[in-house]
Structure 1
């Protein structure tokens, strides 16, 4: 069960033209905005990554706007764990569970998830907040990662797990994000 005290969010490479051509991109980006806003509401640590931003471009404006207080970490390896600044940020966060979202599910999300699992962290892929250019590649990534120890959740599922109680201070505000 997810607990907000020990959970963080990793936003991976939602940049440039690629973000607009992944499977169901408009819904995917809308869900990411909701997830990021929920993470901010709950006070989760948020790590934001950009793959080779000089070549691929920056994060899409809708996400940059909600990630306003977070600084992006540039990376060049497909796994974020190949970037020392990311590894340091993960360690400093003091959480043991990471929600992963972003693109592409079968490349950067997949490799980052594997490396986080290998480092002893728990990983949950937010299924409606990851995408690839083809649905087949997204499906394959989620299937392989679950066999390797990652869990799969959804935006609503993880949000209600993190809140845990309808009397929680964040409940009404979080509910308004997903309605």
Structure 2
């Protein structure tokens, strides 16, 4: 099933503090997440923002937190976002069946969130160039585990253009500027 902006929600997982800076290719990761967040906003898609134990791991990377405003993060202690009642409530309130996942770490929090979403009948697309782990090997293992359970893999540009569907309109012009 193709992604549809009316059915999709973007979920940003735990891109926080020092941990975000020690991810494999962290600068590229943060750049891609920024494009994805701005693209979702251009397309008027809801964004749910998660933080793992923010009192211990710190806040979301400042450049991304600024892009995510006026949304506020949902704090969690479970590795899976789905383990947090506030996340489940927000997801239900949005009424979307397609979840686009990005963030860190691919093999832990992103994976467990994807697994729980899939088990609860959500369609999950993992944005492979907007997730990371401390090692590239763990990222690849995490991506493989998610696809084995039924998640779809994509990349920032493919997701945004799939959601846009047509090469026309203000949102399309905005996406072209973001990607270049």
* TM-score, structure 2 as length reference: 0.98
Q: Which residue of 2 aligns with 1:174?
A: 175
Q: Which residue of 1 aligns with 2:48?
A: 47
CA distance in 2, matches of 1:136, 1:152: 17
Structure 1 runs of 4+ aligned residues shifted over 6 Å read none
Matches within 5 A, 1:46-85: 46-85=47-86
* Unmatched 5+ stretches in structure 2: none
Matches within 5 A, 1:19-30: 19-30=20-31
Secondary structure at the aligned position of 2:169 is classed as coil
Secondary structure at the aligned position of 1:170 is classed as helix
Q: Which residue of 1 aligns with 2:16?
A: 15
Per-residue deviation at 1:165? 0.5
**In angstroms, what is the RMSD of aligned CA positions?**
0.6
CA distance in 2, matches of 1:80, 1:167: 35
Per-residue deviation at 1:111? 0.2
CA distance in 2, matches of 1:168, 1:88: 33
Q: Which residue of 2 aligns with 1:121?
A: 122
Of the structure 1 ranges 166-175 and 98-107, higher mean CA displacement relative to structure 2 is found in 166-175
Residue-pair matches, total: 179
* TM-score, structure 1 as length reference: 0.99
Q: Which residue of 2 aligns with 1:89?
A: 90
Q: Which residue of 2 aligns with 1:103?
A: 104
- Superposed CA offset, 1:73-118 (max 9, x none): 0000000111000000010111100100000000000000000000
Per-residue deviation at 1:168? 3.3
Secondary structure at the aligned position of 2:75 is classed as strand
* Unmatched 5+ stretches in structure 1: none
CA distance in 2, matches of 1:19, 1:61: 11
CA distance in 2, matches of 1:54, 1:10: 20
CA distance in 2, matches of 1:177, 1:41: 10
2:134 is aligned with 1:154: no
Secondary structure at the aligned position of 2:167 is classed as coil
2:7 is aligned with 1:6: yes
CA distance in 2, matches of 1:169, 1:34: 16
CA distance in 2, matches of 1:86, 1:5: 19
